[in-house]
Structure formats: C-alpha cells, structure tokens
Structure 1
Amino acid sequence: EVLLPLASAAYADDPTQCLNRQLPGSTLNRRFEIPYNSTGNNTCSAFTFVDESRQMIGLVFRGTNSDEQLAYETQAILSSGQMIFQDGGKVAPYFNNAYFTLWNSAGLGCNVQEMCNKYPNFHLFITGHSLGGAMAALSAVHIISSGVHSSRRMSLYTFGEPRTGDEEFARLLDFSVAYRVVHNNDKIPHIPTQSMGYEHHGTEIFYENDMQPGSPYQTCRGDEDANCSDK
C-alpha cells in the first residue's frame, strides 16, 4: 500500500508530494535522471529518501517513460542476447546498462553508499515498476554483493517486473526478502521469454483483480509458478 504509490511517484519530476503523503515526515534525499541513448530522448531515473522516524531508507527506480522508450527497450531486449552481470548470472544488456548508467555515471551509487553509511541500522527498501523493477532487482543483488548494506536489513518489492536475468541471477534473489507483484493483465512480466534463457525470481505475488487495498492475492511457489501469472 506504500511502495506501489512510491514506485508511481518515480514518474513525477518531483516525487516529494507523494512521498510526504505516503510516509509523512520522510525526506526526499535526491533525484537522479540521465539520458540513456545518443539522442537524449530516453532517460533513466531514480530517487532516494530517508524516513528517520520509521528507521527506513529507500531507493525507487522509474519505469519506462514513453512509447518511444518502450519500443526501443523491447527491440533491444528481443534482438540481443544476454551479458554477464558482474555480481552473478547473466542479464539483459539493456537493463544492465540502464542500471549502471544511473549507478555510476549519474552518481546514484555514491548517494546510496552515503545513506547506508549514515544509517547502517535502517531498513533499506528498494522498489520500481516495469523497467524500474528490473533495475531494482539488479540493484538489490549489486548492493548485497558489494557489501553496501546487509541483506538482513533490505527488502525488494517490484511491480510488473520483466524477466531480468537467467536462472543463476534469479537464485541470487531467492535468499533475500524479495517480492515480485504481478497483475493478471500485465504483459511485461512475460518478456523476455523463458525460451530466451530468462527466469523470474521469487516471490511472486499474483493479483487477478483491481489491486485495491485489501484485494485478495495469491502467494506463488517457486519462480515460475504455472498456477500464477504463467498460467
């Protein structure tokens, strides 16, 4: 009920209003946006926040922001193979490059490191929608692997996340607190396909309704449960 609106807030130029509404007393730390292609029309974005009263820090990734970016993203994913992810497994090059463009070139990594150093005992929540969900998953693995923050104080919640990497990459998220929320009518979680070597990570939370607060959902078994979004 809190993280989905925050994932939506990442699409705003200024997420402060939504952040204050969902987590009164929290503070926007910094927002990042950087061009991802040569024309500058496609950008990647994320923001970080701190909530001292609830002892939580947050990292929120924006999803695909335009029809042009969606077309570019889909073509790039379907026409390219996989690449080795530096922290384990193989992932889609588009997701990898988008994430590290934000993490390294835009300065997101330094900002997250500073937050985690300042608040080592706070719980880190990472979230994102669609493309943002893929980058959030990459970030969770990278942060744990790099020792930036403890997996015991970190949770990943993604919404409409596409398949991000292969089975080895998915296993890296299965030991941590990771939830992948999927709606029955969303096509994005079904790409890239398993026949291309991709595998979802757990734990899938599957909705077949309007996802209003209190709506029933199914907690799925494994990473590709045939009784959930794969059916």
Structure 2
Amino acid sequence: MSVIIERAEEHEKIKKLLSKEIPSYRQAYSDRTSMIMACLSELAYIKFNEPLLDSTNKKLIKNATKLLGKEKASYIYKLIDLLAYDSEKERKILESDLVLLNLKLEKTFDEKGTQAILVSSEEFYVLAFRGTEPTSIADIKSDLDAIQTSCETGGRIHRGFKSAFNDVHTQIQTYINQNLKDKPLFITGHSLGGALATVATKKLIYPQIAGCYTYGSPRIGDERWMLGIRSPVYRLVNSADPVTMLPPGSDLIDIASLLVKFIPTFGDSWSKRLESKFGGYSHVGYMRYLTNIENGNFGDARLLYSVSFLRRFRAYFSNIKHYSKIPSDHSMVVYRKKLQSIAYYKQKIN
C-alpha cells in the first residue's frame, strides 16, 4: 500500500527522476526538488502520532452506538475510524513510501497538535510539517486565530501560526542541534504546514537551510516580518486554491478600513482596530503558479513564474459554477500530481 505511488510504472518514473543530481545548498527553484517536497508534504499527513481514541476500545464503542439506530450510528462509525487509527500501521506506510523516494525517516515530532517529520538522504535533510486536519481542533484554532502579533524576530505575524510553531520549536531545534550536520536542510509543508514551514525557515538555527517549498500556504505576516528570512522560499499556488488568498491582504484591509470609517460613532475606532489586528498581511517568497486542468489531465498543467491578477480572477470565476472544484484545488494530492507531471515532462521521462 502506498500513498504517493498508485501504479507500478509510477515507481519506475520516480526512480529515474531521483537518479538525477539535486542542486546544492541555497538552491534556485528546481522541478525535481519541488516534486520531492510535494511528496513529503503529502506524506506528513500520515497519522504516525498517537490517536485521539484508543483503538482497543473501538469495538466497545461501536457496540454502544447500536443504541442510536443504524442511520445515526453510521456517522459515529466514520468519526471513530478517523480518531481510532493504528499509528504503528500508519508509520510503516510512511517508512515504506520514504524508501520509494530513497529517503529515511529520522524523527517524527508531535506536540499539542503540531506535527512534522524529519527525513534524510545521502545528500540532504527535509523537515516537512503537517497541514490542517479537519478532525484537529488545535489546527482549526490555529488557522482561525488570524490576529497579528509582534514577533521577536521582527515584524508582525499571524498569532495562530506563531503559537502552533512555538509548540514544537524547542523539540525540533534541540534535535537539529544534536543530530544534523554537513548536509543542507529543506523545509516544506502544505496549507497550515506551509505556513509553519515558512516560520521555521525564519526561526530555526541551522547553517545550511537550502530552501523552503510551500503548497497552498496562507499569508503569514507583514513585510517587515518577511525581511528576516534569508533562505529562498518558493510558494506554489494551484489555480483557484482559496487558502492562498487568506488572510486578506493589506490592500483589501486598507479598503475595508476606509469604508468602515464612514460608519457613524464607531467608524474611526473600528477602522483603527481592523488595521492594527489584521492589516499588513503579505505573501512570502517567489510564487510558482500551477495552471488549471480539465478532467484530471495532470499532464496538461503548466508552471508559470508569474501570473496576472486577471488570470487568477478568471481561474476563480470559471470554477464558481463547480463548487466542488474550488476546495479540490487546495488538495495536496492535486499539487503533487501536477508537479510530478511537470517534472517528468521537463526531464523527458515518459
């Protein structure tokens, strides 16, 4: 069973791609590296951490739900399956898929709802953060706590992302200090994981942070906060992915603040509060835009280094009538499959 390889021929393509040399420390953007980081951002979702519900009590709980009736119990069963997974089995799947990528699991991190994996090859390390899980109250709380707060490294940062990273910061930094040496470190993640990866790129102390690759990442801080990031950050945006537009950027907040001023009595105070709490959000790094595709034809996707506002607006507008497609554009699976197809095309792998 594999998460990132669905067919045998896919394994052969990945082996050919991985046989090529990866660029060195503080790298320029690489299609091959981006594909590997996308795979690891997806694998970070594998539930290696302890489940919320003890799987040994699963049978007892299911028997108890029979009192609810068949229809109501079906919803409870689905919830139990999400919360009472086998973490050892999940870890084995993770380790097996890493072998397919010529990688080794070095360490897993799990603290107060923030999870990450650290893997290694002969040439480099990768720290991959897990993104938002629908069943995790901690993740949802982190996403929604969008008030900006001062950062000790300069500038202002999303309070929820700062808190989520702080939960695991010491654990990761201590492991890096004691175990990593002489190889570049990449940092990556999807969604919330992309935000945490960006924070980690700024805050972790390691002499060879080669770069950060994020997928579907929201905005994290203001322009001053971004100035402290020394390693390159490559921000992958897929077509109409809505998360990449959150929290609202500084231009939108400026307009909203101006309009609020016209409200009698409370306008000025509300306007100032809006600007102080949510103003100044900007994106970090160099954007890479993945174009829209039809009918799952991932081979048709193209990677653009820049894209006009009009083109992005058209991508959103064209998907309004297909509501299910907008959230699918945020899927890490879609990001990974598009980037795999692009990497194969660039390297002439059929």
TM-score range, shorter chain: 0.7 to 0.9
Q: Distance in 1 between matches of 2:224 and 2:96?
A: 39
1:38-187 to 2 correspondences below 5 Å: 43-52=113-122, 55-66=123-134, 69=137, 71-77=140-146, 81-104=147-170, 107-116=171-180, 119-120=181-182, 122-143=183-204, 146=205, 148-151=206-209, 154-173=210-229, 176-187=231-242
Contact 1:91–1:169 (Cα < 8 Å) also in 2: yes
1:46-100, CA deviations, whole angstroms, 9 ceiling, x for partnerless residues? 0111212xx10110100011155464334322xxx21122222211111011001
CA distance in 1, matches of 2:246, 2:42: 21
State how 1:189-208 maps to structure 2 within 5 Å: 189-194=244-249, 195=253, 196=278, 197-208=280-291
Report the equivalent of 2:111.
34
Distance 1:138-1:74 versus aligned 2 partners, 3 A rule: closer
Taking the aligned partners of 1:63 and 1:94, their CA distance within structure 2 comes to: 13
- Aligned-pair identity in percent equals 24
Q: C-alpha distance in 1, partners of 2:186/2:313?
A: 27
Gap change, CA 1:90 and 1:30, over 3 Å in 2: same
Q: How big is the alpha-carbon RMSD for the aligned residues of Structure 1 and Structure 2? A: 2.3
The 2-side partners of 1:209 and 1:108 are apart by 37
Match in the other structure for 1:40: none
Are the counterparts in 2 of residues 179 and 204 from structure 1 also a CA contact under 8 Å?
A: yes
Matched-pair contact (CA < 8 Å) for 1:218–1:228 = no
Is 1:220 matched with 2:254?
A: no
Aligned residue pairs total 203
Amino acid at match of 1:48: L
Mapped contact 2:288–2:303 kept (Cα < 8 A): yes
Shift of 1:229: 4.8
Gap regions ≥5 residues in structure 2: 1-34, 49-90, 254-277, 315-350
**2: CA distance between counterparts of 1:127 and 1:57?**
11
CA distance in 2, matches of 1:198, 1:11: 27
The structure that is helix-richer by fraction is 2
Flag the 1:123–1:73 CA change in 2: closer, same or farther, 3 A. same
Deviations 1:158-193 (CA, angstroms, capped at 9, x unpaired): 0011001111122333x5321000112211111111
Give the Cα separation in 1 of the matches to 2:299 and 2:197: 23
> Computing the radius of gyration over CA atoms, which structure comes out larger, 1 or 2?
2
Could you say which residue in structure 2 is the equivalent of 1:17?
96
C-alpha displacement of 1:228: 6.5
2:141–2:160 CA contact under 8 A, matched in 1: no
Structure 1 residues 74 and 177: alpha-carbon distance in aligned structure 2, compared to 1, 3 A threshold: closer
The runs of at least 4 consecutive aligned structure 1 residues that moved more than 4 Å come to: 227-231
Partner of 2:55: none
2-structure distance, mates of 1:51, 1:227: 41
Which structure shows the bigger proportion of residues in strand conformation?
A: 1
Verify the 8 A CA contact 1:182 1:229 in the aligned structure 2.
no
* SS in structure 2 of the partner of residue 46 of structure 1: strand
Q: Report the Cα offset of residue 34 of structure 1.
A: 1.8
